[in-house]
Amino acid sequence: MENTVCEPQKRALSCIQPTGIPTLGNYLGALRNWVAMQDEFECFYAVADLHAVTVKQEPAKLRQQIYEMFALLIAIGLDPEKSLLFVQSQVPQHAQLSWLLSCQTQFGELSRMTQFKDKSAKHADNINAGLFTYPALMAADILLYQPDYVPVGEDQKQHCELTRDLALRFNNRYSPTFTVPEPYIMKTGARVRSLQEPTKKMSKSDENQNAFISLKDDKDTIIRKFRRAVTDSDAKVCYAPGKDGVNNLMEIYSAITGKTNEQIEAEFDGKGYGDFKTAVGEAVAAELAPIQERFATLMGDKAQLEALMKTGAEHASYVANKTLKKVMKKMGFVI
């Protein structure tokens, strides 16, 4: 009988800030894929609350949003029995490694970060040091857990590249220490656009409440927002250049139902936009209903949430501390 050696499961890590309830775009573009990744990788998921305070936060609101994001991640299908789910600030090694990596990071590298430039322009009254150095914290978030892959969107590619550069720099300077993570491009993920300006990405910070679907929106609100979605005067459900609004709705409907554009066009052949918009709204509401039900149950039991946070933080600290001790020893600290 031949001996078979099982390949160790690859590790993936993702973090999300607790800055409000995610949108349908966040869910279809990334979060739903996180759930699927649990069957393929050893997954670590963190609520990145330390990153949230680079902009001014109201303490009670931030605390509530941390609870909500943690609960929502479980509600969408992340399983604490299968994946490591934790709150970043409850694992002190993140801040510790962040300082050590900051001392390996060049000023010029940080000054070239496009997100620093964008956020500085948006928050001109609060351009703090954390806003400038937070890519080093992001690198620490990743490298602490030695992941093979980090799922990234377009806006995070630059930070992932810096993380790889820092890992290679440290490994070359002190000896191999960090796994150099690869960016993981999602196999599927809808590019959901604003319902009011379909050339722009759907965003929870949009001042127009009709432009986005929150994962907490109830069925009536969802259907009303889709009925108000911008389309065009053609009144024909088909995917074509220049039909940004209709194309966006078709992509959403396809992501929810699994139907191709051809099948959607056939389903609504001879029907107007009113029927189509209502159908999209009903499909989205049906997808989100069980998530909202699980979310409400979890938020109704803070003690259970805190117990899950505590367990996750303990496990994450155990893994993180092994990396931190190795780093400190190589740098010459007495540990």
117 flagged as catalytic: no
Q: Which of 10, 204, 326, 330 is catalytic?
A: 204
End-to-end CA distance of the chain: 47
> What phi, psi does 331 have (nearest 5°)?
-80, -10
Q: Which of 109, 175, 118 is nearest to 138 (CA)?
A: 109
Helices (H), the chain: 24-26, 32-37, 49-52, 59-75, 93-102, 107-111, 114-122, 129-143, 157-174, 219-227, 244-257, 261-267, 273-299, 302-331
For CA atoms 89, 90, 91, 96, give the dihedral sign: positive
Q: Is 61 among the catalytic positions? A: no
Packing angle, helices 157-174 and 302-331, rounded to 10: 40
The catalytically annotated residue of 56, 82, 119, 122 is 119
User: Is 122 among the catalytic positions?
Assistant: no
Active-site entry in 10, 56, 122, 201 = 201
Active site residues: 119, 201, 204
